Structure 1
Amino acid sequence: MATAQEPLHPPPPLPPPAMATARDRLAGFAAGIASGATKLLVGHPFDTVKVRCQIEGGHGRFRGPIDCIVRTIRQEGPRALYKGASAPLIGWSVMDAVQLGSLSNYRLLLQRHDKARRLTHLEHALAGLGAGWTVALVASPVEITKMRLQMQYVSGADRQYRGPLDVARHLTRAYGPLGLWHGLHATMAQRSFFFFLWGSYDVYSEWLRSLRLPDSRRIPEHLVNFLAGGMAANTFWTLCYPVDVVKNRYMNQPDPSPISFVRMFAHVRRTEGLRGFFRGFVPSFIRSFPTNASAILVWESTMRLIKGEERH
């Protein structure tokens, strides 16, 4: 006798995707402010030495980064290492808010707003590229203002610029209403290397999470953020440094700029050789690990705090 067939049960429905919330979209911007302030405190003295060595070139007043530090402190005092810091004090916080906020949102876009989907290394790199181009709109006026102030070696009435607003007035007179964005294309070229910064950060993070301590415990997430951030920053600066030198030389020329950004590459090569593309590399390389490792650690930790998450 035929038996009644068991009724077929349809498979349980798949859980809905973990959709991004407004908090997820805004968290990166808020955490970026804390990251920018950290970057300024740790990194600005190194940045001053880097910029002075880059722009002075091989025939300038310094024999190298150590000589630059010693002579700067001796002739201008320790506070001179923070010259031009007033613009980045606000600017770097805004820049990191824009960079890291847009990075978070580009990641969500590539995740198709399903925040549970893991991105590939390439997708992380593409999100970094988008963030780099986006933040260039904010970075360009901040960096040209900072550099013009950093390159002043005198004080008092002999100064060319009295402060950030004076730099802004000068650039507006020289280049028109968009004078503060003089060199935007050069800044975008340099920020394109964020492709490698955030792509390598994901690679280094994945590798560090796969390691085990002697007692078989995983490396704490905060240490993963710090180490991966520092290694990614070193990777970024190693690859983009020649472009950064040319960008800074171009943006710090007497106004109006006599040499274009593209021709500046040939100018540096002709006048200083290949070594000219790596002026100030040592302080920049040394600076990049602690500065960016600290900033990324603060950013990731603040992101977890805002979202109410904690990874061990």
Structure 2
Amino acid sequence: MAAAQGSTPPTMATTRDRVAGFAAGIASGATKLVVGHPFDTVKVRCQIEGGHGRFRGPFDCIVRTVRQEGPRALYKGASAPLVGWAVMDAVQLGSLSNYRLLLQGHDRARRLSHLEHALAGLGAGWTVALVATPVELIKMRLQMQYASGAARQYRGPIDVARQLTKAYGPLGVWHGLPATMTQRSFFFVLWGSYDIYSEWLRSLRLSAVLGTAAEPRPLPERLVNFLAGGMAANTFWTLCYPVDVAKNRYMTQPGPSPISFVRMFAHIRRTEGLPGFFRGFVPSFIRSFPTNASAIFVWESTMRLIRGEEHH
């Protein structure tokens, strides 16, 4: 977040300011993996199986996955995000911080507008798409692997990358980059709404929230980070979910994709109707609040620790 306006003179961004977002993003990515990966596995399986697949819904997906493949199956494909999500959040949140600094110019005391926060989020979304595409592509291919033993198509992340390169050429692990950039464009909404929610939560008083007559005090900054992060994530997924479904269907097609990303929207609409764009929405929506609230809380707290600040 941009620094609050005050009486201190404008200052240039330091090297520590520019690096802090990348370092804090690693902690954020690790948090996402632990909290969110089981929900993500259910979401991806429901999205890609569609309305005529093997699952009747998210709960049936969880039950059958655990019963047939064991609890560890909920963490299928986690080895790629173990490193990938840490790198992705380092790139996303590091670039977000630097885009904010760029928009601030020489005056670190100037508070960015909601639109500027949204634009920084858009830039961060396009930047992280370069890293997110191979990570998500490998993760989803492994998540959609139901067979075990010798019947498995992929032996692990490296084998997925090898087969993608064979199928799509030297840049095979970036198959679906335009689709990922389209979906990540909604980071405009994520980080714009995060600033709006943060501003609103800071205007509240703890006594009013708790319904007590105690001395009015603002909500703790860490609570603001947690709640605003979860609310922004729910807003993001509500708006971008149909694009995410089309992206994931397109990127997990076997072999050279018979249906393009753009035509995938028409294909889903024709074969499944509008409900097809919201397969797996419930686990995704439920997952988004605790996962992203925790991740943003960790990121903001780590940023304060690195910078030696109590508040932004």
TM-score, normalising length: structure 1: 0.95
Q: 1:70 aligns with which of 63, 74, 98?
A: 63
Q: Which moved more, 1:16-25 or 1:158-167?
A: 16-25
**What pairs up with 1:18-97 in 2 under 5 angstroms?**
18-97=11-90
Post-superposition CA distance 1:20-54 (Å, at most 9, x none): 10000000000000000000000000000000000
Rounded to whole Å, the distance in 2 between the matches of 1:39 and 1:203 is 23
Rounded to whole Å, the distance in 2 between the matches of 1:116 and 1:134 is 26
SS at match of 1:257: coil
Q: 1:192 aligns with which of 185, 210, 217?
A: 185
Aligned to 1:303: 303
Aligned to 2:3: none
**What pairs up with 1:284-295 in 2 under 5 angstroms?**
284-295=284-295
Post-superposition CA distance 1:55-89 (Å, at most 9, x none): 00000000000000000000000000000000000
Aligned to 2:217: 217
Post-superposition offset of 1:16: 4.5
SS at match of 1:310: coil
Post-superposition CA distance 1:162-200 (Å, at most 9, x none): 000000000000111100000000000000000000000
What's the Cα RMSD here? 1.0
Query: Is 1:240 aligned to 2:240, yes or no?
Result: yes
SS at match of 2:77: coil
Give the number of the structure whose alpha-carbon radius of gyration is greater: 1
- CA pair 163-115 structure 1, distance change in 2 beyond 3 A: same
Partner amino acid for 1:244?
Answer: D
Post-superposition offset of 1:115: 1.5
Post-superposition offset of 1:116: 1.0
Rounded to whole Å, the distance in 2 between the matches of 1:213 and 1:153 is 49
Rounded to whole Å, the distance in 2 between the matches of 1:115 and 1:96 is 23
Rounded to whole Å, the distance in 2 between the matches of 1:282 and 1:296 is 21
Aligned partners of 2:8 and 2:109 also within 8 Å: no
TM-score, normalising length: structure 2: 0.95
Rounded to whole Å, the distance in 2 between the matches of 1:105 and 1:149 is 33
Q: 2:149 aligns with which of 151, 156, 161?
A: 156
Identity over aligned residues, as a percent? 87
Rounded to whole Å, the distance in 2 between the matches of 1:202 and 1:273 is 35
Aligned partners of 2:9 and 2:109 also within 8 Å: no
Aligned to 2:118: 125
Rounded to whole Å, the distance in 2 between the matches of 1:249 and 1:90 is 24
Partner amino acid for 2:80?
Answer: A
Aligned to 1:10: none
Structure 1 alignment gaps of length 5 or more: 1-13
Q: 1:113 aligns with which of 86, 95, 106?
A: 106
Report runs of 4+ in structure 1 exceeding 6 Å deviation. Answer: none
Aligned partners of 2:81 and 2:135 also within 8 Å: yes
Post-superposition offset of 1:15: 6.7
Rounded to whole Å, the distance in 2 between the matches of 1:143 and 1:178 is 15
SS at match of 2:206: coil
- CA pair 300-15 structure 1, distance change in 2 beyond 3 A: closer
SS at match of 1:217: coil
Post-superposition CA distance 1:89-140 (Å, at most 9, x none): 0000000000000000000000013221100000000000000000000000
Post-superposition CA distance 1:190-238 (Å, at most 9, x none): 0000000000000000000000011211100000000000000000000
Aligned to 2:210: none
Query: Is 1:229 aligned to 2:222, yes or no?
Result: no
The count of aligned residue pairs is 299
Rounded to whole Å, the distance in 2 between the matches of 1:113 and 1:170 is 48
Rounded to whole Å, the distance in 1 between the matches of 2:229 and 2:205 is 19
Rounded to whole Å, the distance in 1 between the matches of 2:284 and 2:262 is 23
Aligned to 1:145: 138
